[in-house]
Each structure stands twice: as C-alpha cells, then as structure tokens.
C-alpha cells in the first residue's frame, strides 16, 4: 500500500533525478538542479546482513563478516577549479603514486587543501558582500540570478583513489558500497567504469557494484566537487567545508536479500497494548529472476534477549524483482519507549531459502511508543511532553564535520546530565550511530532534512516557490525519512530550515505523510500554515510566549530555536520557562536552544599557541560572518559554558516553590515517579550548615505535586545572619552517565527572618593625615595609605610593609561587550559611558579628619560628556579599613542605560586565592543567576576566567556579601558590600576583553595572563541578554537605566 502512496515521489525522482545524458549535455551534472542521483540504490534503513540470529543480536554491525570498512588513507589530488582536475584519473592505469594521501573520512580544508569558509545566510560561493568569483550574477544585488550555477573559475575538486579487495567468502553475493556523507557532489568509478553520481551531502549514497568488480584488487575512484547546484540547498549556518565526511564501506548480501523494512508500533486507546506492524521489502538479483521462493520470519526480543514473539510468511519472489510482505502482531503491554524510559526491543528479520537454510539475518532495535498531535498538543504515548532541547551541529574542533562515536557518547552524556531531553538535528540528518545512541539513552529527536536555501531568502526568489526544484527537495526529505524511520527516538520530521515556503514544501509534506503518517512534521517557515503540524518559531521572548498562551491556538508551539547561546549569553532563560511552566500554558511545549556546541576550529599562531579560530581566520578576501558560528552552550572542546548550569536548572524535572504552608515539590516528569530519587534539605546560616534531613519514603507521581514542611527545629535568628534552605534531588542508584548520588535538581530559598545588626560606633586608634604636594598620606598602627589627588584614587595600601594595591579604585561604567551586546550595537548605543570611564579625572579632592581615628577623602568628578556628577568618598578608620561610598547624580534625562555602575582596581598578581559569600560557584549575571545559589565558595583567580571564543565579559558573580583575595601567606583584603555587590577578579583587565568597534575580533590567544589581579566591584551590571544576538537587549528589569545611584563597600585587610 505504501509503495502505491509513494508513486508521486518516485515519479518526481525518475523525472528529474535521472534524466538521460542527452537531455542534459549542455549543463554539467553539478549545475543541473534536476540531476542529483545516477544509478543510486533507493534509500533504506541502515542494515548490515548477518549469518545468524545470534550474530544479528550482537548489534555490532561492523563485526559482520559481510561488512568491510574502506576508511583510511586514500590517494588525493586537489585543484582549484574543475578545468584543472585530472579527468582520466579514474582509469586503473592512471599513475597516482605521486599524489598526496588524505584520511577518509575528513574535510579536505581541515587537512590543508583549500580554505574553510564560514558564512551564515549567504552562499559562500555567491556572497554579494564578498564574491569569490566574477561569474556569479545577482538580482537586486543580493540574490544569485541563476540558482544552480556555481563558479567555474573557483570550485575546488578533490580526486580520491584507493584499491580494495573483496573477501573470497563473498563470492556469489551482491556487493554494495556506501558513502555515508560526501560534500557536495561526486562521481564514482570502479575499475574504470562509471558507477554513478550523487548529491545530498548528509545522507548515504549507495550503489550495487557487483557487476563492476573483478577478482583480486579493485580500483575505486571518487571525484568530489566542493560546490554544485545541490549547494543551493545546503546554506546552513556552519562551516562550509568539503570532502568525504562519514564512513565508506562495502557490504554483501545474498542474491535475494532483505532490502528494507518499516516497523510501526500502534498503541491502543489506553496506550497499553501495541499492534506491531512490519513491512519487509525483498529484492531479487538472480539471473532472470529465477530465485525460487523463500520464507521471511521475524523475531522480537526483549532487553534480556528473551523471545517475545515470532511469525513467518512464505515469500513467493520467484520471477519477481521485488516483493513486500506485511506482518501484524499484537504485543501485550510492552515496555514503552520514552526519553525517560528508553525501553528497547530487538527486531530480527530472517530470510530462508526453499531448503530452509538461513541466507540472511538483519536486526534493528525498536521501541513501542505512539507519537500524536492530540487536541493540538504534541504527545508521546498520550501524554503532552515538554521539549527541553538543543539544536546540534556535528562539529569537532580538530576534524570539522567528522565526529567519532566517542564524541557522540560524550555529548549525550552531557545532555543527560543537564536534563536535556531532545535534540534537533540542525540542519541535516546526523551520523547513523547518533540515532542508535539516542534510542538507547533516551533523547527525543527532530530529524531534519538537509535543506536550507537561506541565501535565496523567503520572497519571490525562494527556491520553495520554484517547481523545478521540487524533486531535489523531496528526494532529500525522503532519503532522511527512509534511513531513520525505524528509530523510536525520531519523533518529528523536519523538512528543513530557513528555505521559504511554497509548492516545493507542499509536495514534501505530502510525500512524508504518505510514507509515514505516524509522526508530525515540523517546518518553521510554514509558520501557522498547512506545511507544518507544529508552530515552531525562532527566538520567541517572554512577551511572545505570553501572547501565544493568551488564547487557544490551532497548533502547539515548540520553538525550533530560542535563547541564542552566542558567547556569554542565555540571559532571562528562567523568565522564559516561568511562562512555559505556568499552569494552563499547555500549548507552550518548550523548544530547542540555539545551539549545542561552539563551532570553533583549532588553529596555531606564529608562536605555536593553539587558539580557537572562526570565520575570517582563513584565507584572504573570503566571505565571512566571523564568530557567529560559535553559539554553543558547550565549547568546541566540550567544556561546559557557565550558562549550562542555568540550562540544567530550568530543565530540571523536579521543581520547588515556596508556598504559604511550606514548599511545593512538582514532579515534571511525564512518565516516571520520584521513587528513584532521594530528596534532601539543608538549612544554613551565612553559609554554615545548621540542620539537614532527607524526605523519607517520599514519592510523587508524574505531573503531580506535594507540599512538604522539612522538620527542622524552630530557632531564633541571630543578628546579621542570613538563613537559607537548600533542596537537593539525587539518584539513589546508577543510571547511564549518572552514578548514584548524582544531583539532578536543586533549589534554594531565603528565610524572611533577617535581623539587622546593631550599629555601634567603635573607638579607633588615632590616624595621622599629612599632605605632600599632590599626595595625601594616612598613617595608622601597622599601615599606611596614600592617595593621589591628581588621579583621584588610592596610590598605596600598605599593611605591615606589604603592598596590597597596584592601582587604586577608579570609576567604571563600562563592561566588555559580549556577543549579544555587539549584536545590539552596545558600542554605538552606550559607548559614551566608555568614553567617560576612559577620561575620568577628578574636579576636586577634599580631605578632612572629623575625629582622631577617621579620615575622609572626598573626590568629585564632573562627567561633562553625560552632564552628570559623581562623588567617591573614602573613609579610612584606625583599624586600617577603607569604606568607599560613591554617588552618581545624573543631569541628563536622555542618557542611555549604563552598562554598569562600579569601581575597578588592581592587586598584586599573587593575591590569587579567592573566597566569597554570594551566588556561585559558577559565573553568573543578574539575568542568569537562578542556578547560582548563595553560599561560601573558594578558588583560584585564574579559574574565574572563562574562555569564550571571542574574548568578552566573563567571570562575574552577583549578590555577593563579601569576597576575599589573599596571597600565598594568607595576607589580603576582604571587600564587604553594604549590603550586596557584584564583582569579578581576573588576571586580565577589562580592556583585554573589550571590543573597540564592530571590527575588533580578538581570539583566545590574545588573552595572556597579566601581572596583576584585576577587580571590578559594582552596585549593578546589566544582564547578558539572550533572546537573540542581533538586537535583543537585557530585559528592562535587568538593565541599568541612567538615573541617580549610590552604593558602598568596605575594604579591610585580612591576615
């Protein structure tokens, strides 16, 4: 039945994908949108034959005796343009002995051949801002005039050669070759005979090469074009690099073989029992199709490899080229697959000949689950689920688009540890192994077709509106569907990204639905129209979410991209999820953070130092969108960004709320209760633990809540002590990637019982105030403080002969722009405050000694550029303490927001032992600090720096009560807020992280440790923002509007 339903797609493919050469002789294949397949096998599920059921159950496909990898070193030749390629290299007698060797898989640009290019919207070969060839013409100076055309004068071609032998045990069998991914188009020859041609760089290209083989050594040749008409559909926001990117292998099958299968699991109305429906496609390769008849059986095994059910049918394939068999079996109450409960069964399909001999066995793990749109909601097994997702590109800092299984596992480990339950493959299908791992460990996957034509945008020029591009689009969609249709983790099909909408996607939507009606379709550019089942906008903010939730909509919302994680970002993430979690907002079903990993590449500078490179760091005159390729919540080396802790917090499944009669605990799991978790609580005062306990025999069903009252004793608050209760949720037993005791959720609440300390006026030892020219000197017992009247700040702070300062406090309104600041033109909007900071000079300095043990130095500043005035008062007391009070009086109502309001100073480099009481331990900002709990933390100053790909603001801590910086002997200073400050302490000044203008792109190797500890201490700094990186600013509640401010802190020596 489904074969009949696919007639439309097949007609498109036959009509446009395999036109005879005579119809295309004027257009090279690589510039013909109608030519994308020659002689390729139909797409199918990833299967490798085994000899027996026992071997098939091993699931280690690469260990099959019918599998042989061709990965390794291949002979390689690279040229800059097609006219220079060695056209006869495919002939076996062509001498390639002098050629270089290249690793397969690899991207040739990463191996030193050609130039890696990064652009976002535009085509790298047709970027109107920086064209690489004069051959490309543009309409309206933006749109390529002839989509499909690529440059002839600059289109690198890689010619690959290697030899291989076929195992003798494969005699009499069909032999196939598969290229997992090749960018962007290539021809294949075996022993000098042309086998075929392929486009579509992120799905497998497979050919039957049986008739091309010879005994002994065979010569394989592949000719890869960097750009083709297919590149017009591959305008994704990633490195534009080329080559054979995934595995190459050969495998063999019997002459009658299992070509493909499709297993679906339809659950009953109660989502208890299942109807396993299985379609098995056979292919007959025998001479004149005289194969005799066969039998097909399937067996289903549970996780213990115990047989659950089996069934067989006769396969009357004799004299038939193909045959499809259908099975249907009721499975009573199977264990269900979800991301929370990734229960898998192994399906084994067995092909036997007329003599009852097993000729082929294949296997695949499947899961019983039902994906539906119920009452507009996206549901799994009848339950609406929240998508706590990330967008994932395949990226490795050393190998580009070539990803190892070890890295895939490490990525999934980090996702599971941080409560991420979903991945959108952006914007192309992933390596086959990734789906198997998502099946096993439990991640919902939106599988996305390798389609993005962003450079044509969405109007009249969009390829989505051009019928002649239909077949190429639909082919990519269906090759994705056919390959991963049996993976339970794949819950949504995406037709692509940022490619406009029109007749092309209408055809694609229809083709996918006819083949697989069991999954919804996601396509962002369809917005609320018919070509998507889910409203999947990009970068909604709080107001958008609230508006969408204000009335019942025809589609549920799952944001395809949100919280743009470029650099120091992901501000107001909690604000977004507070709307999503709000009761009644069931049509807000989460989304996918953009994105998962910084796509930086490792490069080495002239000193041999490795650094992270981004767009524009390779070649001269190449198009570039600079560091816009680095948007991850993990770094290119898989180091967690500090923002990942906020992601873990907002995504956590156990949530807490303070209510009138205690604390409400919510179980936001969709399918599991809390019996596997231990929930503990701790009461602390000023960071010191007072009481603690565990909730005994405690459990909550999924999507339910309970109110609890931790049984701590009543106590009388002490003056000056802040009291908090912390909750922690930990695993009782080991789970994949999370050992027993692993913390999955936490929260903190402050007791409203603070008692102010009584203020007493102590008697201080007498001070001596002297003035010598422009220098004021205050001397006390064992300390001397000097003040430079010209500079308007402290010049020296000496305790027992030890200098505590290298530079005194200076007025500071500026913070180094993060990537969101750059995108919102912070330098242009707020740059006046940097000018003020850089040109601060006192208008007057006054000193007084109102009592023997107190000296006051008042410094006045006239900030003429902003028509404002500021005072900084230093009160020095006989115990060596310095209290600093600063007031800003704004004299202009039209001033822009302040980036920050604070002071900065410098300590000796060895004062590098940090301890503080405030929010931590990770970097946090006013709009990204809910995961950073108030406590006592300590560490080295060097560890406070976070290495963002483009150096920028970093290392900050909010709501700090006090912080200390000490040297190796324990001598140092304590800074105490009155009441709270924000601070950073780094081995580099803010100038090292600054961005002078929009073209100031620095790199990690520019940050070299300086001879000092550079301290910033603020009343407030604006948030980092995060809704997007091209205009979004911090929300108003996280901004620092230009108005009058005052704050105070004390510096005291500590020993």
**DSSP-assigned states of every residue in 999-1045:** T----GGG----SSEEEEEEEEE-----S-SSS----GGGS--SS-E
Using alpha carbons, select from 762, 760, 761, 765 the residue that is nearest to residue 852: 765
Q: What is the pLDDT of residue 758?
A: 86
> In 3-state terms, what secondary structure has residue 233?
helix
Q: What is the CATH number of domain 652-750?
A: 2.60.40.10
Q: What is the pLDDT of residue 62?
A: 87
Q: What is the pLDDT of residue 762?
A: 87
> In 3-state terms, what secondary structure has residue 659?
strand
* pTM (predicted TM-score): 0.95
> In 3-state terms, what secondary structure has residue 787?
strand
* CA dist., res. 9 & res. 474, Å (int): 7
Q: The tokens of 31 are what? A: 């510039």
Strand order in the sheet with 322-331: 256-267, 274-284, 322-331
432 classed as catalytic:
no
> In 3-state terms, what secondary structure has residue 718?
coil
Q: What is the pLDDT of residue 207?
A: 98
Active-site pick, 223, 452, 498, 959: 498
Q: What is the pLDDT of residue 171?
A: 96
Residue reference for tokens 């960071």: 687
498 classed as catalytic:
yes
Q: What is the pLDDT of residue 139?
A: 96
Give per-residue burial for 789-811: e unless 16+ CB within 10 Å, then b: bebbbbbbbbbeeeebbbbbbbb
Whether CATH 2.60.40.1760 fits 256-366: no
Whether CATH 2.70.98.10 fits 768-1054: yes
* CA dist., res. 391 & res. 402, Å (int): 18
Using alpha carbons, select from 498, 497, 496, 493 the residue that is nearest to residue 513: 493
Give per-residue burial for 821-851: e unless 16+ CB within 10 Å, then b: bbbbebbeebbebbebbeebebeebebeeee
- DSSP bridge partners of 901: 1020
- DSSP bridge partners of 904: 810, 1016
Query: Quick count: other Cβ atoms within 10 Å of Cβ 719?
Result: 9
- For the chain, what is the radius of gyration of the CA atoms? 33
Taking CB atoms within 8 Å and a gap of at least 24, the contacts of 658-664 are 658/749, 659/707, 661/707, 661/709, 662/707, 662/708, 662/709, 663/707, 663/708, 663/709, 663/710, 663/725, 663/727, 663/749, 664/705, 664/706, 664/707
Low-confidence ranges of the chain (pLDDT < 50): 1-24
Give per-residue burial for 34-51: e unless 16+ CB within 10 Å, then b: bbbbbebbbbbbbbbbbe
Domain ranges across the chain: 66-252, 256-366, 371-454+481-500+515-647, 652-750, 768-1054
Residue reference for tokens 């009721």: 330
In CATH, which superfamily holds the domain spanning 66-252? Galactose-binding domain-like (2.60.120.260)
HSE on the CB side for 793, CA within 13 Å?
16
Q: What is the pLDDT of residue 717?
A: 95
Sequence-distant (6+) residues with CB within 8 A of 1046 are 885, 886, 887, 888, 1019
* CA dist., res. 261 & res. 247, Å (int): 22
Residue 970, classified by CB atoms within 10 Å of its CB into exposed (0-12), middle (13-18) or buried (19+), is exposed
Using alpha carbons, select from 505, 528, 509 the residue that is nearest to residue 517: 509
Using alpha carbons, select from 869, 813, 807 the residue that is nearest to residue 843: 869
* CA dist., res. 932 & res. 955, Å (int): 13
Q: What is the pLDDT of residue 25?
A: 56
Q: What is the pLDDT of residue 699?
A: 97
Q: Calculate ∠ Cα 641-646-651, nearest 5°.
A: 120
Q: Calculate ∠ Cα 972-974-979, nearest 5°.
A: 170
Q: What is the CATH number of domain 371-454+481-500+515-647?
A: 3.20.20.80
* CA dist., res. 874 & res. 777, Å (int): 13
Q: What is the pLDDT of residue 233?
A: 98
Length of the chain: 1055
Same fold for the pair 256-366 and 652-750 = yes
Active-site pick, 124, 394, 561, 906: 561
């Amino acid at each position: 039945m489904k074969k009949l339903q696919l007639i439309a797609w097949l007609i498109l493919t036959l009509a446009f994908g395999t036109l005879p050469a005579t119809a295309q002789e004027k257009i090279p294949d690589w510039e013909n949108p109608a030519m994308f397949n020659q002689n390729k096998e139909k797409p199918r599920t990833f299967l490798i034959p085994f000899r027996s059921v026992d071997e098939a159950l091993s699931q280690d496909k690469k260990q099959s005796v019918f599998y042989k990898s061709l990965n390794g070193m291949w002979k390689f030749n690279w040229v800059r343009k097609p006219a220079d390629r060695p056209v006869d290299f495919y002939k076996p007698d062509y001498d390639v002995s002098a050629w270089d060797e290249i690793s397969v898989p690899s991207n040739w640009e990463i191996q030193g051949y050609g130039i890696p290019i990064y652009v976002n919207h535009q085509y790298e070969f047709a970027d109107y801002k920086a064209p690489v060839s004069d051959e490309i013409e543009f309409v309206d100076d933006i749109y390529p005039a002839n989509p499909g055309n690529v440059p002839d004068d600059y289109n690198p071609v890689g010619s690959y050669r290697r030899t291989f032998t076929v195992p003798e045990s494969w005699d009499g069998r069909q032999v196939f070759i598969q290229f997992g991914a090749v960018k962007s188009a290539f021809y294949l020859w075996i022993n000098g005979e042309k086998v075929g041609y392929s486009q579509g760089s992120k799905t497998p290209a497979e050919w039957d090469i049986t008739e091309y083989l010879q005994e002994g050594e065979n010569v394989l040749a592949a000719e890869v074009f960097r750009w083709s008409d297919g590149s017009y559909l591959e305008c994704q926001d990633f490195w534009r690099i080329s080559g054979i990117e995934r595995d190459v292998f050969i495998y063999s099958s019997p002459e009658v073989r299992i070509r493909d299968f499709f297993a679906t699991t339809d659950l009953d109305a109660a989502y208890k029992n299942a109807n396993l429906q299985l379609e098995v496609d056979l292919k007959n390769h025998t001479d004149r199709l005289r194969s005799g008849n066969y039998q097909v059986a399937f067996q289903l095994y549970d996780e213990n490899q115990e047989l659950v059910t089996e069934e067989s049918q006769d396969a009357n394939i004799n004299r038939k080229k193909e045959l499809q068999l259908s099975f249907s079996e009721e499975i009573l109450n199977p264990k269900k697959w979800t991301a929370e409960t990734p229960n898998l069964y192994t399906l084994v399909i067995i092909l036997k000949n007329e003599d009852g001999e097993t000729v082929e066995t294949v296997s695949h793990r499947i899961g019983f689950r039902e994906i539906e749109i119920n009452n507009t909601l996206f549901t799994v097994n009848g339950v609406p689920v929240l998508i706590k997702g990330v967008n994932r590109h395949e990226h490795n800092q050393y190998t580009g688009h070539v990803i190892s299984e070890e890295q895939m596992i490490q990525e999934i480990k980090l996702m599971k540890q941080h409560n991420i339950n979903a991945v959108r493959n952006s914007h192309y299908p992933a390596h086959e192994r990734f789906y198997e791992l998502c099946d096993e460990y439990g991640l919902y996957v939106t599988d996305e077709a390798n389609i993005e034509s962003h450079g044509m945008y969405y109007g009249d020029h969009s390829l989505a509106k051009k019928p002649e591009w239909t077949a190429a689009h639909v082919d990519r969609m269906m090759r994705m569907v056919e390959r991963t249709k049996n993976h339970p983790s794949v819950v949504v099909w995406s037709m692509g990204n940022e490619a406009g909408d029109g007749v092309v996607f209408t055809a694609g939507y229809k083709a996918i639905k006819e083949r697989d009606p069991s999954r919804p379709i996601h396509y962002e550019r369809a917005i609320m129209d018919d070509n998507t089942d889910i409203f999947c906008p990009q970068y909604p903010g709080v107001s958008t979410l609230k508006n969408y939730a204000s009335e019942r909509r025809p589609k549920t919302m799952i944001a395809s991209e949100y919280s743009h994680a470029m650099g120091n970002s992901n501000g107001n993430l909690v604000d977004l999820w507070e709307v999503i979690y709000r009761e009644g907002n069931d049509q807000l079903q989460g989304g996918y953070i953009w994105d998962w990993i910084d796509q930086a590449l490792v490069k080495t500078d002239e000193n041999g130092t490795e650094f992270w490179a981004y767009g524009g760091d390779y070649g001269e005159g190449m198009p570039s969108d600079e560091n816009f390729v680095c948007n991850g919540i993990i770094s290119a080396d898989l180091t967690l960004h500090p923002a990942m802790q906020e992601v873990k917090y907002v995504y956590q499944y156990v949530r807490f709320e303070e209510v009138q009669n205690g604390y409400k605990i919510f179980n936001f799991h969709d399918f599991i209760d809390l019996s596997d978790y231990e929930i503990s609580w701790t009461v602390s005062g000023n960071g010191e633990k007072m009481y603690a306990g565990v909730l005994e025999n405690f459990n909550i069903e999924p999507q339910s809540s309970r109110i609890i009252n931790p049984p701590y004793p009543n106590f009388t608050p002490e003056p000056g002590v802040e009291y908090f209760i912390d909750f922690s949720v930990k695993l009782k037993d080991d789970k994949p990637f999370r050992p027993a005791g692993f913390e999955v959720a936490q929260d903190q609440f402050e007791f409203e019982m603070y008692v102010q300390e009584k203020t007493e006026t102590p008697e201080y030892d007498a001070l001596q105030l002297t003035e010598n020219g422009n220098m004021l000197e205050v001397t006390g017992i064992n300390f001397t403080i000097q003040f430079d009247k010209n500079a308007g700040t402290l010049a020296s702070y000496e305790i027992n002969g030890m200098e505590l300062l290298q530079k005194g406090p200076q007025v500071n309104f500026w913070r180094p722009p993060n990537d969101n600041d750059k995108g919102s033109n912070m330098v242009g909007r707020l740059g006046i405050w940097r000018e003020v900071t850089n040109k601060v000079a006192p208008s007057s300095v006054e000193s007084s000694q109102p009592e023997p043990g107190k000296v006051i130095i008042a410094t006045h500043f006239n900030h003429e550029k902003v028509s404002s005035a500021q005072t900084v008062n230093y009160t020095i007391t006989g115990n060596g303490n310095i209290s600093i009070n600063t007031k800003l009086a704004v004299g202009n109502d039209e001033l822009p927001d302040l980036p920050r309001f604070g002071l900065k100073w410098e300590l000796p480099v060895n004062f590098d032992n940090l301890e503080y009481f405030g929010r931590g331990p990770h970097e946090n900002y006013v709009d990204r600090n809910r995961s950073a709990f108030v406590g006592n933390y300590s560490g080295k100053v060097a560890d406070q720096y976070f290495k963002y790909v483009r150096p920028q603001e970093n290392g900050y801590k909010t709501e700090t009560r006090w912080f200390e910086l000490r040297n190796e002997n324990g001598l140092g200073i304590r800074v105490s807020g009155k009441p709270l400050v924000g601070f950073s302490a780094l081995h580099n000044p803010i100038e090292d992280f600054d961005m002078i203008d929009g073209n100031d792109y620095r790199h990690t190797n520019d940050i070299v440790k300086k001879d000092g500890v550079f301290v910033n201490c603020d009343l407030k700094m604006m948030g980092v923002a995060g809704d997007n990186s091209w205009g979004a600013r911090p929300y108003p509640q996280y901004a620092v509007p230009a108005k009058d401010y005052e704050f105070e802190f004390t510096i005291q020596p500590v020993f």
